[in-house]
Structure 1
Amino acid sequence: MTHILVVDDEQPILELIKNGLRKDGYLITACQTAADVDMQKLHLYDIILLDVMMPGVDGFEYCKKIRNIVDCPILFLTAKTLEEDILYGLGIGADDYITKPFRIAELRARVNAHLRREQRERHSTLTFERIKFDLAAKELWVAGNRVTLTKSEYLICEYLARNKGQVFTKEQIYEAVFGLDGDSDNSTIATHIKNIRAKLEKLNIQPISTVWGIGYKWE
C-alpha cells in the first residue's frame, strides 16, 4: 500500500489532507512538527508532503536534512508565494510546490501524478533503503552519494542485489557476470568483492555477506 508522510503544524489542514488522500486508498502518517517524524521510518514513505513554515525546524531545513536519505518525491505545502521562495524550495530538493490555500482535488491530482511518475521510473531503478541502483546508467548510489565502482564491481553488485537473499558461489557469480568466455578465473570474484566492501564501508553500509564454505549473498 502506498504510504504518505504529511508534516504540517496546522491540525485542520492535516485532517483535510488525511481525509482527502485516504479516498485514494493511501496510508497516511501525519505529524505536526519535523521533530515528531521517526527518522528510522523515512524509507517507508512513497511521497512526503512538507509544510514550510513550522515551529522549530522549518520545511526548508528539514528537506535539506532528509533529501540525501530519501529519494521519494517531496512536495512543499506553504503560503509563501514569492518566486524566490519557490525557486529556493525546488533548488534544495523538493519536487513540487503547492501554495495555500489549495483545493484538495488539486492536491490529490498532484500526489497521484508524482506517484505515477515514480512507478514508471522504478522500472529503471532498484532500491534498498539507502541504496539505489540506476539500472540505465549502471550506477550505484548510497544515501545520495554515487559510489565509484569499476564495471565488474557494479555488475557483481547488481547481480547479487537483483537476487537478494540468495547465496551464490564464486563460480556462479563469475559465470553470470562475465559469461563462459571470461578471460580471467573465478578467484577474481573474491578480490572484486573485497574492493566493493572497502568502498561501501566508507559510507557505513555493508550489504554483501559471506556464507562460509558456499559464497556470497546480498542482504
Structure 2
Amino acid sequence: MAKILVVDDEKDILILIQNILRRDEHQVHTLDQVPMDTLDVFEGYDLILLDVMMPEVDGFELCGKIRPIVDCPILFLTAKTEEEAIVKGLMTGGDDYITKPFGVLELSARVNAHLRREQREKYQTKRLISGFLFHFDSKEVFIHDQKLNLTKNEYKICELLAVHKGRIFTREEIYDQVYGLDGDAMHSTITEFIRTIRKKCKEYHADPIKTVWGVGYKWE
C-alpha cells in the first residue's frame, strides 16, 4: 500500500482517481486547491499526481516548486498531447504523464509501475564511477564533494549510463529505462535531458557522457 496525493481542481476527477487507486489498496489524499503559501503539504508521499491545467498555478510550475523538497514520482494529468508541452513538463522534474481521458486499467498500471520501480531503487547503496559518487539510496550524484543538481529523470539517465560505463545505449533504450515499456512520452525528451546533464556537469569541468553519432550515448 502506498500513500498517494492527487491534485486537480475538478472534484469529479479526484473522486474517480481516488476510487480507482483505493481498489489497489492505496491510501489516497486529494487537493482541489493548491496552497502556495505552504508546500510542506506535498511531503511524505510515495507518488503525486498533478493536473496540468489548474486556475491558480499550472502543474508544470507546481512541479518545479515542489521537486526540490520531494523525490517521489510525479505524474502529470493532462489533456495536452503536443510534444513541446510534454517536454516542458518532464524537464521540470516530472516522471511521466497520463493523458485525459484515461482508462481505469491504464491509470492503475502506470501508477503501480512507478511505485514498483521506486521500491527497487531503494535497496541499492553507493558507488564511485569516473569521479562521480552515486548514492543509489538517495538518488544523488556528487563530484568533487559537490552535489549535482539533477532532476529525477536526469539522475536515472546518469545512473543507467554510469553503471554500464563504456556501453553504448540508443536513445530508445534510455527511454525504456526511464519511462518503462508502457511509457508514451516523446523520445526527443531524452536528447534534451542529455543536453541539460552535460551543461550541469561542465560547471564542474566534467563531460562524462559521449555521443556515438548515429548510435547513441555512453559514459566514459
Tell me how far apart the structure 1 counterparts of residues 109 and 23 of structure 2 sit (CA, whole Å).
Answer: 12
Tell me how far apart the structure 2 counterparts of residues 146 and 33 of structure 1 sit (CA, whole Å).
Answer: 37
Q: Contact 2:134 / 2:140 at 8 angstroms: preserved in 1?
A: no
1:57 offset after TM fit, Å? 1.3
**Aligned to 2:9, what secondary structure does the other structure show?**
coil
Is 2:67 the partner of 1:67? yes
Residues 56-82 of structure 1, C-alpha deviations (whole Å, 9 max, x = no match): 111011000011111110000011111
**Aligned to 1:65, what secondary structure does the other structure show?**
helix
Tell me how far apart the structure 1 counterparts of residues 10 and 51 of structure 2 sit (CA, whole Å).
Answer: 9
1:93 offset after TM fit, Å? 0.9
Q: Contact 1:77 / 1:99 at 8 angstroms: preserved in 2?
A: yes
Q: Which residue pairs with 1:93 in the alignment?
A: 93
Tell me how far apart the structure 2 counterparts of residues 69 and 61 of structure 1 sit (CA, whole Å).
Answer: 14
1:38 offset after TM fit, Å? 5.9
1:143-182 superposed matches below 5 A: 149=145
Residues 132-172 of structure 1, C-alpha deviations (whole Å, 9 max, x = no match): xxx2454569997958649xxxxxxxxxxxxxxxxxxxxxx
Q: Tell me whether 17-26 or 87-96 shows the greater mean CA deviation.
A: 87-96
CA 1:92/1:80 → structure 2, altered by over 3 Å: closer, same or farther?
Answer: same
Tell me how far apart the structure 2 counterparts of residues 70 and 108 of structure 1 sit (CA, whole Å).
Answer: 22
Q: Which residue pairs with 1:19 in the alignment?
A: 19
Specify every segment of 5 or more residues in structure 1 that has no aligned partner in the other structure, as ranges: 126-134, 151-219
Q: Which residue pairs with 1:47 in the alignment?
A: 47
Specify every segment of 5 or more residues in structure 2 that has no aligned partner in the other structure, as ranges: 147-220
Q: What TM-score do you get using the length of structure 2 for normalisation?
A: 0.58
**Aligned to 1:57, what secondary structure does the other structure show?**
coil
Report the AA paired with residue 16 of structure 1: L
Residues 79-102 of structure 1, C-alpha deviations (whole Å, 9 max, x = no match): 111111111111111100111011
Q: Which has the larger radius of gyration?
A: 1
Q: Which residue pairs with 1:117 in the alignment?
A: 117
Q: Contact 2:134 / 2:141 at 8 angstroms: preserved in 1?
A: no
1:104 offset after TM fit, Å? 1.7
The count of residues paired between Structure 1 and Structure 2 equals 141
Q: Which residue pairs with 1:77 in the alignment?
A: 77
Tell me how far apart the structure 1 counterparts of residues 138 and 57 of structure 2 sit (CA, whole Å).
Answer: 25
- Where has structure 1 moved over 4 Å in runs of 4 or more? 137-148
Backbone CA RMSD of aligned residues = 2.7
Tell me how far apart the structure 2 counterparts of residues 71 and 22 of structure 1 sit (CA, whole Å).
Answer: 23
Q: Which residue pairs with 2:30 in the alignment?
A: 30
